[in-house]
Structure 1
Amino acid sequence: MMNDDPLWLAQTAFAALADFAFACTLGALLLNVWLSREQAFATVSPARRGWLRAARGGSIAAISLVLCTFVSLWLQSASMSGAPIAQAGDALWLVATATHAGIGWSVALAGSVLLLAAAATAGGGATAVARIGMALLAALIVAAGKSAVGHAADAGAFSLAEAVQTLHLLATAVWGGIVVVGAFVLPALDTSVARAFLIRTVARMSRAASIAVALVVLTGAFNAWRGTGGSLAVLSASTWGHALIVKLLLVAAALVFGALNRWSALPRLSRSASTMDAHTVINVMRVEALMMAGVFVAAAVLSHSMPGSALMN
């Protein structure tokens, strides 16, 4: 049965928003770098509108990530101290520095601030390379901090489970971010003079997303096996199991639409460079983006629900 506790609902909601913002920040940074390689930051570039969308979208997403992560730390303080949400600030420092979950959120918050710095310094040329290096470090810190808050932490700090979960969070964020931000940025490249930029950018997005998807599937399989304790019976006996089923269905749907773009729509666009085929690629990506948004919600429910394996003990 779904938990109807207001604090649990708030924690789950802000965790989902933080995951979504994390993905959008990474996706925007990647698109910004790819477009910077095309000199899209130049005032006369036909792709400048797309570059600006990626830059501004990344900054907005990074700010949202910092805010949502801080709120999550605040809610964690309320949960662990037993204080009302409005008064959780009294225990915030103690929770943030003396508890495993609090330290995890603090690490994620520090990484979020660093990621914001990377997103806020959007520029072309050599600065784009330096920024992506900073962003990679920040993304690793955010993912590591969040993995220390979830079920992987049950295996202990710096455990294999935490390492796998960190990689899972990163890969999911890259995949989801590329798709969601792509659905926002690509329409700005949907003009005849920017069509070549659109085709090359989508091809890069597709290659990067394919690698991320492979990592998501591998790490997700490990997490699912660990969460079920090897028994499929728990899938129908808990909120965690129901959320996992929903997440798997959404991931499968996103994979179908992603495959449709990669193996059908994109090759047609590469051959024809037509407006109709460009619209098809963008519209399919929009549907895939909706599926990924649902994945982040399901993942938040999973991380805030008792895993199925715990019900067997």
Structure 2
Amino acid sequence: MNDDPLWLAQTAFAALADLAFACTLGALLLAGWLSREQAFAPPSAVLPARQGCRRAARGGLIAAIVLVSCNFVSLWLQSAAMSGVPILQAGASLWLVATGTHVGIGWSVALAGSVLLLLAASGAPLSISRIVSTVLAALIVAAGKSAIGHAADAGAFSFAEGVQTLHLLATAAWGGIVIAGAFVLPALDTSVARAALIRTVARMSRAASLAVVLVVLTGVFNAWRGAAGSLATLTASTWGHALIVKIALVAAALAFGALNRWSALPRLQRSASTMDAHTVINVMRMEAVMMAGVFVAAAVLSHSVPGSALAG
């Protein structure tokens, strides 16, 4: 494990940015779903749905602010790393790095996308402009991040970069839905809002399942490419160790997600009981913890030398 303070700072802010990106997307999705609930729910359930929508909107806005801040700090740290000056003096080379280097341009693209996502988080949940801005912003953020990762070794606009962009989007959608859900859904944990809770969790489960399929498919491609087709690289490097940890955390998150989708949620749909509602939310919280760990492991991966390079 690298103990360089600059590397640790870059990895920490990358992980926080990935978490913020995911939480922004998840919160925006939940805000949209809960806005629809307000239109169709019976009068007794409108207030919990409105409270949940407000909580999601507020969380999405805060996460978007954190994302913008983290991307700017990451660009600043990258300037310090590339110019070889202390962090506090990196501002002098910030513009040159941001506009004159491939990595700097990638960070700048991700920063621009995060600003657009922040603007989207400030709009009405179901407005067309917000939906279009969110989709466009998410693509820009993911594309910018993929352009500065290991996929960039294959060249700009390569197939590897495209796969990594899709992987980042799918992982953010899955993790964001789960983490934001663990924060927002307690607002619906009342008997009068039980039907709204069941419908919302069902929508979350379907969306997360689609994202999981994309995460697994693209993740297998990235892992095989990064390991150069050799399992020996997994035990011979920090990159390999981080990949093993990430796979374990993904597997644990999948287990909790499957428990909710195939056991806890169907039981809640049959009984509509408070105990089963608590079970669904608590299992989702455990899945959220696993997904937070996935983002940390992914940040270590992206800032470590891949196994393919070590293998020559």
TM-score, normalisation: structure 2 = 0.97
Contact 2:23 2:179 in 1 (8 A): yes
Deviation digits for residues 70-108 of structure 1, max 9, x if unmatched? 000000101111111000010000000010100000000
Once the two structures are TM-superposed, the CA of residue 40 in structure 1 deviates from its matched residue by 6.3
Once the two structures are TM-superposed, the CA of residue 11 in structure 1 deviates from its matched residue by 0.3
Is 1:90 equivalent to 2:89 in the alignment?
no
Q: Distance in 1 between matches of 2:129 and 2:97?
A: 34
Is 1:117 equivalent to 2:96 in the alignment?
no
Q: Distance in 2 between matches of 1:255 and 1:193?
A: 30
Query: What is the DSSP-based 3-state SS (H/G/I as helix, E as strand, rest coil) of the residue aligned with 2:229?
Result: coil
Corresponding residue for residue 259 of structure 1: 258
Aligned AA for 2:75? L
Once the two structures are TM-superposed, the CA of residue 256 in structure 1 deviates from its matched residue by 0.2
Corresponding residue for residue 215 of structure 2: 216
Once the two structures are TM-superposed, the CA of residue 120 in structure 1 deviates from its matched residue by 1.2
Corresponding residue for residue 33 of structure 2: 34
Q: Distance in 2 between matches of 1:295 and 1:227?
A: 17
> Of residues 75, 80, 90 in structure 2, which corresponds to 1:73?
75
Once the two structures are TM-superposed, the CA of residue 193 in structure 1 deviates from its matched residue by 1.1
> Of residues 40, 43, 50 in structure 2, which corresponds to 1:48?
50
Contact 2:48 2:187 in 1 (8 A): no
Once the two structures are TM-superposed, the CA of residue 312 in structure 1 deviates from its matched residue by 1.1
Aligned AA for 2:249? L
> Of residues 95, 102, 108 in structure 2, which corresponds to 1:100?
102
Aligned AA for 1:73? L
Contact 1:40 1:51 in 2 (8 A): no
Once the two structures are TM-superposed, the CA of residue 56 in structure 1 deviates from its matched residue by 0.1
Corresponding residue for residue 226 of structure 2: 227
Corresponding residue for residue 161 of structure 1: 160
Once the two structures are TM-superposed, the CA of residue 188 in structure 1 deviates from its matched residue by 0.5
Deviation digits for residues 241-260 of structure 1, max 9, x if unmatched? 00000000000000000000
Residue 40 to residue 109, structure 1, CA distance change in 2 (3 Å): farther
Contact 2:35 2:49 in 1 (8 A): no
Deviation digits for residues 189-237 of structure 1, max 9, x if unmatched? 0001111110000000000000000000000000001000000000000
Query: What is the correspondence of 1:240-259 to structure 2 with a 5 Å cutoff?
Result: 240-259=239-258
Q: Distance in 2 between matches of 1:217 and 1:130?
A: 31
Query: What is the correspondence of 1:147-296 to structure 2 with a 5 Å cutoff?
Result: 147-296=146-295
Aligned AA for 1:16? A
Contact 1:234 1:309 in 2 (8 A): yes
Q: Distance in 2 between matches of 1:48 and 1:41?
A: 12
Corresponding residue for residue 129 of structure 2: 130
Query: What is the DSSP-based 3-state SS (H/G/I as helix, E as strand, rest coil) of the residue aligned with 2:38?
Result: coil
Gaps spanning 5+ residues in structure 1: where?
none
Corresponding residue for residue 60 of structure 1: 62
Query: What is the DSSP-based 3-state SS (H/G/I as helix, E as strand, rest coil) of the residue aligned with 1:3?
Result: coil
Contact 1:178 1:205 in 2 (8 A): yes
Q: Distance in 2 between matches of 1:204 and 1:133?
A: 20
Gaps spanning 5+ residues in structure 2: where?
none
Aligned AA for 2:138? A
Residue 281 to residue 75, structure 1, CA distance change in 2 (3 Å): same
Query: What is the DSSP-based 3-state SS (H/G/I as helix, E as strand, rest coil) of the residue aligned with 2:294?
Result: helix
Aligned AA for 1:39? Q
TM-score, normalisation: structure 1 = 0.97
Q: Distance in 1 between matches of 2:131 and 2:10?
A: 30
Q: Distance in 1 between matches of 2:32 and 2:278?
A: 23
Residue 156 to residue 99, structure 1, CA distance change in 2 (3 Å): same
Bigger Cα displacement from structure 2, 192-201 vs 239-248:
192-201
Q: Distance in 1 between matches of 2:39 and 2:82?
A: 48
Query: What is the DSSP-based 3-state SS (H/G/I as helix, E as strand, rest coil) of the residue aligned with 1:4?
Result: coil
Aligned AA for 1:219? T
Aligned AA for 1:181? A
Q: Distance in 1 between matches of 2:87 and 2:40?
A: 44
Once the two structures are TM-superposed, the CA of residue 135 in structure 1 deviates from its matched residue by 0.3
Structure 1 ranges of 4+ moved more than 2 A:
39-46
Contact 1:29 1:132 in 2 (8 A): no
How many corresponding residue pairs? 309
Once the two structures are TM-superposed, the CA of residue 115 in structure 1 deviates from its matched residue by 0.2
Bigger Cα displacement from structure 2, 92-101 vs 129-138:
129-138
Q: Distance in 1 between matches of 2:75 and 2:245?
A: 27
Q: Distance in 1 between matches of 2:74 and 2:84?
A: 15
Contact 2:114 2:137 in 1 (8 A): yes
Contact 1:41 1:51 in 2 (8 A): no
% of aligned pairs identical?
A: 82
Contact 1:227 1:308 in 2 (8 A): yes
